[in-house]
Amino acid sequence: MLTLVIYHMRCTQIFFKPATTPEEIKQVKEVRKAIDDMSSMDNPKKKVFFWNNRNARRKQSGTIIWWFKEWLDQVGHDKASLLMHTDAQDPHGQDLPHIIEHLGLTDGQVMLSTNKVSPEQLADYYRACDYTINISDAEGLWPCNFRIFSLWKPHHC
């Protein structure tokens, strides 16, 4: 129980505040530019969706990619990108690079962020994206949803 309390205290100091200082705003813009640069589809109005979770079956990471592709097929592949921050080849999850390649989403429609980052960097990812997505099987709301809610990002759970 003590670990949860400490985690949430740290969470409130990092995630429950928007970027307000010039340095923070600059950092968020740099993160967004890096995300946009990963895509070969040039569209300044493109929306970026963010998914941050463990790549485990119950998190339905592969399903999200399939659904995102179906949605892009309707609205246009240049209209949005999905940034997934996870272990792309978790032994308890799906082979996300294989799914992305199999579906032909290799022009930046789905991007993987696999490096460990600090909580501050993770907060910048949330701030730099337009929308967040969270889905899971047989689980309730937990930390990533609270981060989403705290930053007032449109989301789908």
Q: What share of the chain is helix, strand, coil (3-state, %, to 5)?
A: 45, 15, 40
Tell me the helices (H) and strands (E) count for the chain, helix number first: 6, 5
* Nearest-angstrom CA–CA distance, 137 and 146: 18
* Nearest-angstrom CA–CA distance, 66 and 82: 11
pLDDT of 31 > 60? The answer is yes
Top pLDDT among 152 and 94 is at 94
Give per-residue pLDDT as tens, 108-150.
Answer: 999 999 999 988 888 889 889 988 887 766 665 555 555 555 5
* Nearest-angstrom CA–CA distance, 122 and 136: 20
Burial bucket for residue 58 (CB in 10 Å: 0-12, 13-18, 19+): middle
Torsion of CA 81, 86, 90, 93, to 10 degrees: -60
Q: Which residues share a beta bridge with 155?
A: 132
Give per-residue pLDDT as tens, 40-94.
Answer: 888 889 999 998 887 777 778 888 999 999 999 999 999 999 999 998 888 888 8
pLDDT of 58: 72
* Cα dihedral sign, 34-35-36-38: positive
Closest CA to 85 of 35, 24, 141: 35
Domains of the chain: 2-156 (3.40.50.2000)
pLDDT of 8: 39
pLDDT of 14: 61
